[in-house]
């Protein structure tokens, strides 16, 4: 089954007094009040996530994904989601994985990390899906760096997703505590690293500080996740999605702040 969609990605912060979350008084409706650096979470620019329409994807953008070789990776619980990145770097500043790239319009982006939201943050024609993965890329230069995010949806099916197997195996053995990490053996080539046709928009991040000017790409294909994989991920991710936002073209949200 194929759908078309946009996506988003979180910013990763160290724990602080104004720590944000997804429920209650530090949930998405209050992010802009928690810290002055989060003010853009209530700006007039296009917020994310949004409800997506099939006609949004009439003109797909082709991107090129590639993995040159494998490297040591870690799986960590950053307090908001489970995230995969290189063993070097920190939670809020992962090291570039220069052998995993996204190329588009003659420009190369390098993988920083990838993580998951449950349920999906974006909707398709008013419907959310079980899981949304965000693969976050950055140009090599720290000065005037550009960011790109590839979003992939997962929905329930008979087949397990091979790219999620190593993550689920670790969760089943012992879930990670906040800011805890473990080494992980994982094949990125079993993830979404292949040539795909996507669409692109410029929008804000779905998490504080709601950074502007992010280039989002979204895969057409919805990946299959097995019931056991879903149960394991649900156990640790719980609820970690921002509710949909009003579209600049007038489209209304299809979900609201949870109680």
Q: How far is CA 226 from CA 159, 170, 194, in A?
A: 5, 16, 22
Helices marked H in 18-75: 31-34
Helix (H, G, I), strand (E, B) or coil at 249: coil
Distance CA 125, CA 101 (A): 31
What phi, psi does 237 have (nearest 5°)?
-80, -30
pLDDT (0 to 100) of residue 195: 67
Distance of alpha carbon 192 from the chain centroid: 13
Mean pLDDT value across residues 136-164: 90
Q: Where do the structural domains in the chain lie, given as residue ranges?
A: 24-237
Q: Render pLDDT for 25-63 as a digit per residue (tens, 0 to 9).
A: 999 999 999 999 999 999 888 888 888 888 877 777 888
Residues in the chain: 259
Mean pLDDT value across residues 172-191: 89
pTM: 0.87
Q: How far is CA 164 from CA 114, 169, 227, 230, 242, in A?
A: 12, 9, 13, 10, 23
- The architecture in CATH of the region 24-237 reads Roll (3.10)
What band does 15 get if pLDDT is binned at 50, 70 and 90?
Answer: very low
* Contacts with 39 (C-beta within 8 Å, 6 or more apart), sequence order: 32
């Amino acid at each position: 089954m194929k759908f078309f969609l946009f996506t988003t990605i979180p910013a990763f912060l160290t724990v602080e007094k104004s720590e944000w979350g997804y429920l209650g008084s530090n949930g998405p409706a209050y992010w802009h009040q928690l810290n002055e650096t989060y003010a853009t979470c209530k700006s007039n620019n296009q917020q994310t996530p949004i409800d997506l329409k099939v006609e949004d994807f009439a003109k797909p953008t082709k991107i090129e994904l590639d993995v040159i070789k494998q490297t040591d990776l870690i799986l960590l619980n950053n307090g908001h989601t489970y995230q995969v990145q290189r063993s070097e770097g920190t939670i809020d500043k992962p090291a570039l994985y220069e052998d995993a790239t996204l190329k588009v319009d003659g420009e190369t982006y390098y993988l920083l990390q990838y993580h998951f939201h449950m349920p999906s943050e974006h909707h398709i024609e008013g419907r959310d899906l079980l899981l949304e993965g965000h693969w976050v890329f950055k140009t090599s230069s720290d000065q005037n760096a550009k960011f790109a995010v590839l979003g992939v949806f997962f929905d329930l099916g008979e087949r397990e997703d091979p790219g999620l197997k190593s993550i689920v195996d670790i969760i089943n053995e012992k879930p990670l505590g906040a800011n805890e990490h473990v080494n992980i053996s994982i094949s990125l080539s079993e993830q979404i690293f292949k040539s795909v046709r996507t669409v692109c928009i410029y929008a804000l991040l779905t998490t504080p500080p709601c950074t502007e000017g992010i280039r989002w790409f979204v895969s057409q294909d919805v990946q299959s996740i097995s019931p056991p994989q879903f149960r394991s991920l649900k156990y640790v991710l719980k609820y970690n999605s921002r509710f949909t936002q009003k579209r600049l073209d007038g489209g209304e949200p299809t979900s609201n702040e949870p109680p």
